[in-house]
Amino acid sequence: MRKLNYRLVARLAGLLTLTMAGGMVLPVAVSFYYGDGAQYALIFAALLMTAVGLFLRNLVGRHATYDLRERESFWITSVVWITVPLCGALPYLMTGTLGSFTDAAFESVSGFTTTGSSVIVHPEAIPQSVLMWRSMTQWIGGLGLILLVVALLRRLSGGSLKLYAAEFSGTQQKKLHPHIAKSVMRMWFIYSLITVVLITLLALAGNGWLDSVCLALSTVSTGGFMTAQYGLAGYSELTLNILTVFMFLSGVNVALLYNLFTLKWRRFKLNHEFVLYAVIFLLAALSCYVAFSIANGDFTIKNLEFSLFHIASTVSTCGFYTEGPVVWPFWASVVTFVLILSGACAGSTGGGIKLRRLMVLFLYMRNYMTRMVHPHVVFTIKIDHKVVPGDYVNKIFGFLFLYICFIIGGAFLLTMSGSSIADAFCLASANISNLGPSPLINSLGANLEYASLPLLSKWTLMGLMLAGRLEIFALLAIVSPAYWRRK
């Protein structure tokens, strides 16, 4: 078997680390502006990242050939997703925000995977610059680190498609442009544009600049890090409504948003997944509204706003929460739990199983049952008026099976470190779907305080977040014996 092209792997990992170091300019600037005293620690962290990056890129990765096959693509994906979050943990450690390495790594992994589970109990009390960095990690991770690589490295041309496929396994994306690098640039463009629009709107709604930026970065990436201990309870209703809209949007396929922006209505209209997404969102929000109102005895507009906010946060796997109605009806928990698992549209920044996969499965099951009665009927599955190949159905089945295995395995490890069975399942599913905190977990009696979880639980959750974000296969590929076997 051909040797692994490890120089290329190191070079790409180094390149991304250097980019992170460059990104540290922003928190450092914030730190000088607010005078929060963290500037020197941050500069030191940035220098360390630069050193690591230079080491990887220019020493290990010198003379790298750009010869990239399936093996390298999985390797790069996994290495990048481990190196970058580890480097991203440095600012927390250097500024002393988080004392232990585990905590810092947890916060960083949670950020880059856009999960939003936080071990920082009092976000108000930490330096503004660190808050800024925390939100930035989500934004960078939002579209996926590999998309960043593809955008940064035009030279990869042939290999970028393989890389792209390694990170987004089997959702059958349609490219925006025949040239993969160009279509990735378009995605980054629309992503940045939405971010800027949201920052402006939030600022106009009367929030401080830092707050607006942090919230916007968390929203568009469906991350969900919040800037206060008790969620978003302190923000105005207008702010929350703006967030509702943008959370909903960030659960939509980015390519589709680009079509919307460039006024290609026809392509937008024909997308069945989006229609399903919108319908599910509205139905869930309405049923929760009715449930909240009946349980609390008041049909107020506030309840409607809350249920829209809560469902948008769940369906896009963003994970914001705010002060809701006093009585939390059971129905809302059920809806939330189902939405956590089903997740957002494929190709969005959100997590979960993805609606596109569920659509294919649903159609397949329907056909299967008809075949039980009429054994000789032949079916094809069509989505967006295109036939889905049978091979693809099997892949989705496999994905779903592994997804459930990861939830069960994760829950088992969580019970090993002291969670009850119900809590373990909620924590595992909320983190593998990159949702993070959710009022559902609260209502089931689990603690929202990730800080107090034992060591084993934190590492388990980190593994789940990564597995969910990389859609399992990329992570499993490099640990499978088949990967290492010489043929």
Partner 1 sequence: MKNSEWKAVLRFIGTLLMAEGGLMALCCIPAVHFADGTLPQVGLCSAVTLAVGSLLRYRYRRFRDIRDKRMSYLLVVLLWIVLSFFATLPFLVTGATHSFSFAWFEAMSGFSTCGATIFPDVAALPSSILLWRSMMQWFGGFGIVLLVLALTPKLGINKYALYTAEASGADNAGGATVRTVVTVRRTLTVYLSLTLFFILLLLATGMEAWDAVNLTFTNISSGGFSINSDSIATLTALQQYILAGAMFFSGVNFTLLYLLFTLRWRRIGYKLDELRSYLLLCLAAIAFVVVALHTRSGLPWGDALRLGTVQTVSAMTTTGSVVADYTLWPVPVTFLLMMLALCGGMAGSTSGGLKTMRVLILFRNARAILHNRLHPNIVNPVRLNGRPVSGHITNNVMVIFLVFGGSLMLGVMGLMLCGVSPTEAIGASVGCLTGYGPGLGASGGFGCYAHFSSPALWFGTFLMLMGRLECMTLIILLLPRFWRK
| The binder of partner 1 chosen from 161, 238, 383, 476 (CB under 8 A) | 476
Which residues 6+ apart lie within 8 Å of 254 measured at CB? Answer: 143, 187, 190, 191, 347, 348, 349
Q: What is the rounded distance in angstroms from the CA atom of residue 371 to the CA atom of residue 365? A: 10
> CB under 8 A: which stretch of 40-48, 243-251, 255-263, 418-426 binds partner 1?
418-426
| The binder of partner 1 chosen from 416, 447, 449, 452 (CB under 8 A) | 416
Nearest alpha carbon to residue 169 among 61, 74, 300: 74
> CB under 8 A: which stretch of 44-52, 80-88, 232-240, 471-479 binds partner 1?
471-479
| The binder of partner 1 chosen from 124, 401, 449, 455 (CB under 8 A) | 401
Using rule CB under 8 A, residue 372 touches partner 1: yes
The β-bridge partners of 382 are 387
| The binder of partner 1 chosen from 67, 70, 237, 449 (CB under 8 A) | 70
| The binder of partner 1 chosen from 397, 454, 456, 459 (CB under 8 A) | 397
Q: What is the rounded distance in angstroms from the CA atom of residue 105 to the CA atom of residue 412? A: 22
Using rule CB under 8 A, residue 387 touches partner 1: no
SS3 at position 154:
helix
Max intra-chain CA distance, the chain:
74
295-354 residues near partner 1, rule: CB under 8 A: 330-331, 334, 337-338
Using rule CB under 8 A, residue 193 touches partner 1: no
Q: What is the rounded distance in angstroms from the CA atom of residue 149 to the CA atom of residue 73? A: 11
> CB under 8 A: which stretch of 21-29, 86-94, 106-114, 362-370 binds partner 1?
362-370
Question: In this complex, which beta carbon is closest to partner 1, that of residue 64 or of residue 393?
Answer: 393
Residue indicated by tokens 């010869």: 67
| The binder of partner 1 chosen from 11, 57, 71, 134 (CB under 8 A) | 71
Using rule CB under 8 A, residue 425 touches partner 1: yes
Using rule CB under 8 A, residue 412 touches partner 1: yes
| The binder of partner 1 chosen from 32, 173, 395, 451 (CB under 8 A) | 395
Question: In this complex, which beta carbon is closest to partner 1, that of residue 48 or of residue 400?
Answer: 400
Question: In this complex, which beta carbon is closest to partner 1, that of residue 297 or of residue 375?
Answer: 375
Using rule CB under 8 A, residue 379 touches partner 1: no
Contact between 192 and 258 under an 8 Å Cβ cutoff? The reply is no
To the nearest whole angstrom, how small is the minimum distance from the Cβ of residue 423 to partner 1? 9
Residue 308: both structure tokens together: 């829209």
| The binder of partner 1 chosen from 19, 293, 296, 415 (CB under 8 A) | 415
Question: In this complex, which beta carbon is closest to partner 1, that of residue 259 or of residue 336?
Answer: 336
CA 191 to chain centre: 14
To the nearest whole angstrom, how small is the minimum distance from the Cβ of residue 109 to partner 1? 23
To the nearest whole angstrom, how small is the minimum distance from the Cβ of residue 1 to partner 1? 11
Using rule CB under 8 A, residue 459 touches partner 1: no
Using rule CB under 8 A, residue 209 touches partner 1: no
The count of C-alpha atoms lying within 13 angstroms of the C-alpha of 200, restricted to the half-sphere facing its C-beta, is 6
CB atoms within 10 A of CB 279: 10
> CB under 8 A: which stretch of 245-253, 299-307, 378-386, 474-482 binds partner 1?
474-482
> CB under 8 A: which stretch of 2-10, 42-50, 204-212, 419-427 binds partner 1?
419-427
Using rule CB under 8 A, residue 445 touches partner 1: yes
| Helix locations, 221-264, DSSP H | 237-250, 254-261
Produce one character per residue of 386-423: b if its CB has 16 or more CB atoms within 10 Å, e if not.
eebeeebbebbeebbebbeebbebbbebbbeeebeeeb
Question: In this complex, which beta carbon is closest to partner 1, that of residue 351 or of residue 410?
Answer: 410
In which element (H, E) is residue 57 found?
none
Q: What is the rounded distance in angstroms from the CA atom of residue 93 to the CA atom of residue 336? A: 35
To the nearest whole angstrom, how small is the minimum distance from the Cβ of residue 375 to partner 1? 7
Q: What is the rounded distance in angstroms from the CA atom of residue 116 to the CA atom of residue 450? A: 11
Q: What is the rounded distance in angstroms from the CA atom of residue 296 to the CA atom of residue 329? A: 9
| Helix locations, 270-354, DSSP H | 272-296, 301-315, 330-342
Question: In this complex, which beta carbon is closest to partner 1, that of residue 57 or of residue 357?
Answer: 357
Produce one character per residue of 20-46: b if its CB has 16 or more CB atoms within 10 Å, e if not.
bbebbeebbebbeeeebebbebbbebb
CB atoms within 10 A of CB 263: 8
Judged by the rule CB under 8 A, the positions of this chain that interact with partner 1 are 70-71, 74, 169, 330-331, 334, 337-338, 361, 364-365, 368-370, 372-373, 375, 390, 393-395, 397-402, 404-405, 408, 411-412, 415-416, 418-422, 424-425, 444-445, 473, 476-477, 480, 482-483
